[in-house]
Amino acid sequence: MFPAPPTFEDLNVWAALPVIILSLWASVLLVADRFINNKFYVAAYSLLGVGISLVIALFQAGDLFDIGESGTAFEGMFMADQFTYVVNIVALISAAIGILISYEYLERTKLDRGEYYILLMFSAAGAMLMGSSNNLSMIFISLELLSIPLYILSGIRRPQEESEESAMKYFLLGAFSSSFLVYGIALVFGAAGSLDLGEIVVVAQTISEQEATQRYLLLIGAGLITVGLGFKVAAVPFHMWTPDVYQGAPTPVTAYMSSVAKVGGFAAFLRVLVTGLPIIAEGGDAAVWVDTLQILAALTLLLGNLVAIMQYDLKRLLAYSSIAHAGYILIALAAGGVPGVGDSAAQAALVYLAAYAFTNIGAFAVVAAIEKDDSTGTTMDDIKGLAVKRPWLAGAMSVFMFSLTGIPLTAGFIGKFWVFRAAMDAGLEPLAVLGVLTSAISAFYYVRVVWNMYFETGDAVVPERQQYLTSGLVITAAGTLILGLLPFILENLVRDASLAILR
Amino acid sequence: MLESSPVAIELYVLLSAVLFVMGTLGVLLRRNAILIFMSIELMLNSANLALVAFARQWNTIDGHLMVFFVITVAAAEVAVGLALIVAIYRTKKSISIDDLHKFEG
């Protein structure tokens, strides 16, 4: 006879409750949207769904209630551990703030369509799944679940040319990078005979010097996966799409996408490299990919920060700044390949991502607040004299700029501190020094924004106050300051995050 | 009678690698959005070929399952991609990526 089908307990279904609720909620809303004429309610219901999911994710992370056991779920496809929970929280908070800052922008640019919020929820679900993937096929599917809604969102302002171009570029390069990822997965599968990260790690560790074919398949596969995910997180030299896409997409979409795509991309990066391929036998201790990632990190830091200096448009400036910040997280990733540092590097990456998510969404939200209805008014000249007209807006922007620079008492400083500490632990001092130097360079263009707001005179014409956007700004600014002033919040959250395989 | 001998796995992987490189070159060299898109599909399908070949080699079903997912996702990408191409054509009357030059710097 047939074996008994697995029960809910066998599958450990409840461990995946936040992402299940979010995707079901979005699916129901997709149909219900047809019958809701006032799109305010679609936004409100989306926010409610994200909120419910966030509450459960917080319970899971804080061990307050026993919702699903930690460990694998769905026959080893899904991994529920502290790393997953933290990624869930960051992705869900990004989604909630993304919805808050979008509503009025969409209304005043005549874009108030319900599917906007639903696509936003689906891509948040994709980012959450990327953090909990324990199987290469899951990584691929969740990456697409993250990306495809973002392609649509960046083009949602059609027939405006900028938006369409941005969607087109994002789509073509995104699909191009996915095919690298799939081919990499195929080669790793060829070497290991399994798509399960737990089984791949065993093969990768026991592979011997003689099995040249398997070793090279694994190496090339890991390389192609790095290319594929490198595109998603905008690491140099795979960053070409970033400035154009970020500048052309509607500003709230840019805000959301710049943080959630990085969260998802880096979560998958950490899962694949630190959990699945910590060692690719090359006779030595360190994984071969550490050197590659060091080079990527150094290039990303230098290019992102240096090109950002020359930018005149704020969205483009923040796009290059987001490339630069990918570089800092790549430092943590490179450190993760050094034996014994894997967990603390993963924690550093999580802290950095959390700090970055708050700060970056906030910075883009300020740009959304000052942007005019015809999507102009986002240049360096347009913020001159903003401090006189809208002191609170200018104050919030200053907080975000200081946090992106990494000035103490802001979240950005905590993130940089963790990353540089992980790099020192791993013995990657040159990279840590480069990180500090490029932070100093970055101060130049971030402070110039603050300078323009406070010490230049100009007649900034700013759209009216927008209450939901303001509440999003209050949350992000408060989050940036609180995470910076009370670093133990993040420390407690990520303390148990580990990428070692649970057995 | 022809002797039927099994085709070595290396040949399948070699063919898939050739297709993958052709697809990559197509993406880099072509200027028409639809042709770039077709090249991307070629890359995805070369990965599918490698996946089924390896799945036969390892005698496991994982690779086959992955192929189905890749096909499904590719279909979803086609839906979004073609819609975007149509939208761009309506605004610009061109689908050459050389005409995408709104941004600079």
User: For chain A, what's the residue count?
Assistant: 503
A266-280, A321-335, A423-437: range with lowest mean pLDDT: A266-280
Chain B neighbours among A 164-223 (CB < 8 Å)?
Answer: 164-165, 167-169, 171-172, 175-176, 178-180, 182-183, 185-187, 189-190, 193-196
The pLDDT value given to residue A444: 93
Helix/strand/coil for B32: strand
Q: Using one digit for the tens of pLDDT, what is the confidence trace for A373-406?
A: 888 888 888 889 888 888 999 999 999 999 999 9
B12 and chain A in contact, CB less than 8 A: no
CATH of the domain at B23: 1.10.287.3510
pLDDT at A503 over 50: no
Q: A276 pLDDT band (50/70/90 cuts)?
A: confident
Residue B103 lies in a domain: no
Residue A148 and residue B80: Cβ atoms within 8 Å?
A: yes
Closest to A433 in 3D by CA, of A350, A331, A329? A331
- Dist. CA A197–CA B54, nearest whole Å: 17
Q: A283 pLDDT band (50/70/90 cuts)?
A: low
- Phi-psi map region of B104: left, alpha, beta (phi>0 left; psi -120 to 50 alpha): beta
Chain B neighbours among A 239-258 (CB < 8 Å)?
Answer: 243-244, 247-248
pLDDT at A502 over 50: no
Q: Using one digit for the tens of pLDDT, what is the confidence trace for A31-56?
A: 999 999 898 999 999 999 999 999 99
Token reading at A476: 């992000």
Give the phi and the psi of residue A8 in degrees, each rounded to 5: -60, -35
Counting Cα atoms < 13 Å in the Cβ hemisphere of B88 gives 29
Collect all residues of chain B within an 8 Å Cβ-Cβ radius of residue A176.
Answer: 27, 40, 43
B66 and chain A in contact, CB less than 8 A: yes
Distance from CA of A165 to the nearest CA of B (A): 6
B91 and chain A in contact, CB less than 8 A: yes
Instruction: Answer positive or negative: Cα dihedral of B50, B56, B58, B60.
Output: positive
Distance from CA of A182 to the nearest CA of B (A): 6
Token reading at A254: 């840019």
The pLDDT value given to residue B104: 63
The pLDDT value given to residue A230: 94
Residue A162 and residue B90: Cβ atoms within 8 Å?
A: no
Distance from CA of A159 to the nearest CA of B (A): 6
Residue B74 lies in a domain: yes
Collect all residues of chain B within an 8 Å Cβ-Cβ radius of residue A165.
Answer: 88, 100, 102-103
Q: Under a CB-based contact definition with an 8 Å cutoff, are residues A299 and A233 in contact?
A: no
CB neighbours of A153 closer than 8 A, spacing ≥ 6? A116, A119, A120, A123, A249, A250, A253, A256, A257
- Dist. CA A248–CA A240, nearest whole Å: 14
Residue A189 and residue B51: Cβ atoms within 8 Å?
A: yes
Q: Under a CB-based contact definition with an 8 Å cutoff, are residues A175 and B49 in contact?
A: no
Kindly state the helix (H) or strand (E) to which residue A79 belongs, with its residue range. Answer: strand A78-80
Percentage of chain A beyond pLDDT 90 is 68
Percentage of chain A beyond pLDDT 70 is 96
Q: Under a CB-based contact definition with an 8 Å cutoff, are residues A175 and B37 in contact?
A: yes
Residue A244 and residue B63: Cβ atoms within 8 Å?
A: no
Helix/strand/coil for A313: strand
How many domains, in total, are found in chain B? 1
Give the phi and the psi of residue A133 in degrees, each rounded to 5: -70, 135
- Dist. CA A475–CA A47, nearest whole Å: 14
Distance from CA of A256 to the nearest CA of B (A): 20
Mean per-residue pLDDT for A180-200?
93
Token reading at B6: 């099994």
Percent helix, percent strand, percent coil in chain A, to nearest 5: 75, 0, 25
Q: Which residue of A has its CA nearest to B84?
A: A168
pLDDT at A346 over 80: yes
The pLDDT value given to residue A285: 47
A86-100, A103-117, A354-368, B32-46: range with lowest mean pLDDT: A103-117
Torsion of CA A56, A57, A62, A65, to 10 degrees: 30
Residue B68 lies in a domain: yes
Q: Under a CB-based contact definition with an 8 Å cutoff, are residues A221 and A185 in contact?
A: yes
pLDDT at A197 over 60: yes
Closest to A126 in 3D by CA, of A142, A108, A105, A103? A142
A184-188, A209-213, A492-496: range with lowest mean pLDDT: A209-213
Distance from CA of A310 to the nearest CA of B (A): 8
Q: Which of A171, A182, A248 sits opposite B84 (nearest CB)?
A: A171
Q: Under a CB-based contact definition with an 8 Å cutoff, are residues B57 and B84 in contact?
A: no
Residue B73 lies in a domain: yes
Residue A186 and residue B102: Cβ atoms within 8 Å?
A: no
Q: Which of A137, A185, A243 sits opposite B65 (nearest CB)?
A: A137
Q: Using one digit for the tens of pLDDT, what is the confidence trace for A234-254?
A: 998 999 999 999 999 999 999
Q: Using one digit for the tens of pLDDT, what is the confidence trace for A133-155?
A: 999 999 999 999 999 999 999 99
Q: Which of B13, B43, B87 sits opposite A179 (nearest CB)?
A: B43
A77 and chain B in contact, CB less than 8 A: no
Residue B92 lies in a domain: yes
A11-20, A87-96, A298-307, A414-423: range with lowest mean pLDDT: A11-20
Residue B104 lies in a domain: no
Collect all residues of chain A within an 8 Å Cβ-Cβ radius of residue B51.
Answer: 185-186, 189
* Amino acid code (one letter) for A102: S
Q: Which residue of A has its CA nearest to B12?
A: A190
Mean per-residue pLDDT for A345-367?
95
The tokens 């959630």 sit on which residue?
A: A260
pLDDT at A456 over 50: yes
Mean per-residue pLDDT for A288-302?
91
Q: How far is CA A145 from CA A23, A120, A148, A433, in A?
A: 11, 11, 6, 37
Q: Which residue of A has its CA nearest to B93?
A: A161
Chain A neighbours among B 14-43 (CB < 8 Å)?
Answer: 16, 20, 23, 27, 33, 36-37, 40, 43
The interface predicted TM-score of the complex, written ipTM, equals: 0.95
The tokens 């060299």 sit on which residue?
A: B29
Distance from CA of B46 to the nearest CA of A (A): 8
As a whole number, the mean pLDDT across chain A is 90
Token reading at A22: 């979010």
Collect all residues of chain A within an 8 Å Cβ-Cβ radius of residue B75.
Answer: none
Distance from CA of A236 to the nearest CA of B (A): 16
* Amino acid code (one letter) for A362: G
Distance from CA of A136 to the nearest CA of B (A): 9
Residue B47 and residue A144: Cβ atoms within 8 Å?
A: no
Task: For chain B, list residues with pLDDT below 70.
Answer: 1-5, 104-105
Mean per-residue pLDDT for A205-217?
77
The pLDDT value given to residue A501: 59
- Dist. CA A69–CA A60, nearest whole Å: 9
Residue B1 lies in a domain: no
A284 or A108, which is more confident: A108
Residue B83 lies in a domain: yes
Helix/strand/coil for A80: strand
Residue A151 and residue B80: Cβ atoms within 8 Å?
A: yes
The pLDDT value given to residue A377: 85
- Dist. CA A88–CA A191, nearest whole Å: 31
Q: Which domain holds residue B39?
A: 9-98
User: For chain B, what's the residue count?
Assistant: 105
